[in-house]
């Protein structure tokens, strides 16, 4: 953020992906398409106080692979780069430069120093993708492909239930199923990756916690909240297109869902709290 690469909304999206898939935050941000691996590497280099290296443009010497055994290279994802001869008053000292993933592991540096016998090992950070390619080129080490980002729900797919207590989610699902609508519990990433044809049902507090007023989702949003002016205003701020004061009221729930299924984006917020509240 200090480098001007991300804003708060994009960081929030990356954090959701990070916590849900348990991948490093930098990789999550790249998967979400909000920044590049080069951006992440640049930020990590500044944060860690080490130099970054672009292995995709680096000429790697196959002879260097003999310095670090394949098992050490695989374990620590360490790629040997070059040997530098540094002149000292007492003579000359060799410095072995290696590339490692961020954050730089002192254990990895010590292991490389031990197996190579070099008195000085200088670590540089490199991107995960570049390290994978370099290890394949030097050692023939193939890494398994990363799982892809979960796909967004298909058009006309199940209604997405987000942020409900388990019992309430089951009751809503059964109500909808009786009228031919499928529903499933959604994750934060499911909600953030909705498409215009999707419909999300959620308590207003859950959506405020996920979006924090900085993000808008593509799907149509129906929220549950208190049926007063404050509740309607909070719903509007979230971009909601439906409002429920009681999600267990089957008639009102179905009315809200039927209003949005098949309607294009841009409809105004509809009040479905009770007979005394009409569309604002």
Q: Is the pTM of this model over 0.85?
A: no
pLDDT of residue 276: 34
Summarize pLDDT for 107-133 with one digit per residue, the tens.
Answer: 999 999 999 999 899 999 998 889 999
253-262 mean pLDDT? 81
Strand pairing of 199-203 and 220-224?
Answer: parallel
195 and 221 Cβ atoms separated by less than 8 Å: no
Nearest CA-CA partner of 77 in 120, 23, 135, 145 = 135
Summarize pLDDT for 40-88 with one digit per residue, the tens.
Answer: 888 888 888 888 888 888 889 999 999 999 999 999 999 999 999 887 7
pLDDT of residue 268: 43
Confidence of residue 144 (pLDDT cuts 50, 70, 90): low
DSSP string, 48-84: HT--B--TTTS---GGGGGTS-HHHHHHHT-EEEEEE
Instruction: Determine whether domain 159-271 maps to CATH 3.40.50.2300.
Output: yes
Rounded percentage of the chain residues whose pLDDT exceeds 70: 87
Average pLDDT, the chain: 83
94-110 mean pLDDT? 89
pLDDT of residue 80: 95
Task: Indicate where the chain has its CATH 3.30.300.160 domain(s).
Answer: 36-149
pLDDT at residue 215 tops 50: yes
What single-letter DSSP state applies at residue 233?
H
How far is residue 202's CA from residue 207's CA, in Å, rounded to a whole number?
7
- What is the CATH architecture of 36-149? 2-Layer Sandwich (3.30)
pLDDT of residue 178: 86
pLDDT of residue 264: 37
pLDDT of residue 79: 95
253 and 172 Cβ atoms separated by less than 8 Å: yes
pLDDT of residue 256: 87
How far is residue 223's CA from residue 214's CA, in Å, rounded to a whole number?
17
């Amino acid at each position: 953020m200090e480098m001007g690469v991300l804003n708060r909304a994009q960081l929030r999206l990356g954090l959701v992906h990070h916590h849900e898939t348990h991948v490093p935050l930098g990789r999550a941000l790249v998967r979400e398409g909000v920044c590049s691996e080069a951006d992440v590497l640049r930020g990590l280099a500044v944060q860690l106080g080490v130099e970054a290296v672009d292995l995709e443009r680096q000429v790697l010497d196959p002879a260097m692979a003999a310095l670090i055994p394949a098992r050490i290279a695989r374990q620590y994802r360490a790629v040997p780069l070059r040997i530098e001869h540094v002149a000292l008053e007492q003579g000359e000292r060799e410095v072995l430069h290696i590339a490692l993933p961020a954050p730089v592991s002192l254990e990895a540096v010590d292991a490389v120093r031990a197996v190579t016998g070099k008195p000085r090992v200088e670590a540089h950070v490199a991107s995960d993708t570049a390290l994978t390619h370099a290890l394949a080129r030097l050692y023939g080490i193939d890494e398994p492909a990363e799982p892809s980002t979960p796909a967004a729900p298909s058009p006309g797919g199940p209604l997405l239930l987000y942020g409900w207590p388990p019992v309430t989610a089951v009751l809503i699902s059964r109500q909808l199923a009786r009228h031919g609508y499928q529903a499933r519990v959604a994750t934060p990433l499911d909600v953030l990756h909705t498409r215009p044809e999707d419909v999300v049902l959620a308590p207003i507090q859950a959506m405020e916690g996920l979006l924090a007023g900085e993000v808008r989702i593509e799907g149509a949003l129906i929220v549950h909240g208190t049926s007063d002016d404050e509740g309607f205003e909070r719903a509007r701020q979230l971009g909601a297109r439906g409002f429920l004061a009681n999600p267990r009221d089957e008639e009102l729930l179905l009315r809200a869902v039927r209003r949005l299924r098949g309607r294009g984006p841009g409809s105004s917020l509809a009040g479905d709290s009770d007979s005394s509240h009409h569309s604002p």
